[in-house]
Structure 1
Amino acid sequence: MELDEVIFNRMSVRYYEERSVEEEKLEDLIKSAIRAPTASGLENWLFVVYKDENIRKRIHEIMYEAHAEYYRAYGLPEEKIEKLKAKIFEKGMYKAPVYVGVFVDKETRFLKGKEYEEIEFLWSVESAAMAIENLMLKAVELGLGTCYIGVTSLEKYQRELREIAELGENWYLVGLVPVGYPAEKITPRPRRKSLEKILKII
């Protein structure tokens, strides 16, 4: 598969088949993820693969709770949040055979001064975000679907996901990625904004 084909066929997949993802494919995803650039060469990331059935059930519930909080904060009416609830619990949206949590260690630093703490944290998050993109592109090549979930990084949800993984408070959840075989047709959508609106050459 050519790189262009992989890039332009990546999309957010929200419905997955029930079949499990092969161990070797999971390893390939992580091997690809860690080829991403890593600020200061720290590699202060951790990839937690949640496979246990009971844990996945709770994560699926967390995904609804986090989305509901997010949409309430945005001002979405309760009837629309109820429709989301039906999609998640009745239709199985985001219900995947595997979830990958991508964490960074806030205490692993290169520059020790307090004044660099914030920028180093941002660099770590950027590194993890690039790793997530690598993972997602590799998934396309392997016939798998993914979806970036950011709302689980809201504090109370990421705290629970840390606790499930037995991680300390120094670990920050950058994103949670459902992984599985798509149960829906992959039809990439064009971006809303044209190249002319988002590109500035000076």
Structure 2
Amino acid sequence: MEALEAIKTRRSIRKFKPQDIPREIYRELLEAAMLAPSAGNEQPWQFVAIDDRRILDQIPLICPTAAMCRQSPLAILVCGDSRYERYPDFWVQDCSAAVENILLAAHALGLGAVWAGVYPMKDRIEGFRRLFALPDEITPFALIALGYPNEKPAPSKRYKEERVHYNQW
């Protein structure tokens, strides 16, 4: 899939077919994530790939906006790792870029995906820390539910000229 087509046709998918994702695809998604730009190229991220049905079913108890995990065969928890942070607080931008790369790679591979926010909600951060026994230097940032789409939302036109300013406000 061509890059601009992927950007223009990617939509959040919350309904999935009951079909497993081959493990080789996990690597493709995570490689795409790790190719994201980061401040000083520090790559301050860690990833938890979740395909255990028992764990996927627990996720909505921590993050109600991730109810689709009860249907998805895979979720990826994107986390910031303070050990790799040379520029304080830029890990949020870095992890955001990694999430977007996963979303676009998933779409290009024929998967559906949706980004569920975790950071900065303290209850979600602590819930994921407990569920996955994350060390103190790891901060859960976002959860991406993935699967083969069982819905096809129409592409959306979102360009708004009135929000573009040239050379000054």
Same fold by TM-score greater than 0.5? yes
1:124-149 superposed Cα distances (whole Å, 9 cap, x missing partner): 11011001111111111100011111
Task: Assess, with a 3 A threshold, how the Cα gap between structure 1 residues 139 and 184 changes in structure 2: closer, same or farther.
Answer: same
Alignment match, 1:58: 58
Kept after mapping to 2: 8 A contact 1:15/1:93 = no
Shift of 1:160: 1.9
2:113 maps to what in 1? 146
Match of 1:99?
A: 75
The answer to whether the 8 Å contact 2:118/2:140 transfers is no
Percent identity reads: 28
Question: What runs of 5+ residues in structure 1 fail to find an aligned partner?
Answer: 68-87, 112-119
Q: Distance in 1 between matches of 2:72 and 2:37?
A: 28
Alpha-carbon distance in structure 1 between the residues aligned to 2:150 and 2:69: 10
Normalized per residue, which structure has more helix? Answer: 1
Residue 162 (str. 1) matches residue 129 (str. 2): yes
- The TM-score with structure 2 as length reference comes to 0.89
Per-residue deviation, residues 50-107 of structure 1 (Å, max 9, x unmatched): 111111110133332xx4xxxxxxxxxxxxxxxxxxxx5xxx6863111110000124
Give how far 1:186 is off.
3.6
Q: How many residues align?
A: 166
The secondary structure found in structure 1 opposite 2:116 is coil
Larger radius of gyration: 1
More strand by share: 2
1:25 aligned partner: 25
2:7 maps to amino acid: I
Q: Residue 36 of structure 2 corresponds to which residue in structure 1?
A: 36
Higher relative contact order (CA 8 A, sep 6+): 1
Per-residue deviation at 1:47? 0.9
TM-score normalised by length of structure 1 = 0.75
CA distance in 2: counterparts of 1:134 and 1:105, whole angstroms = 18
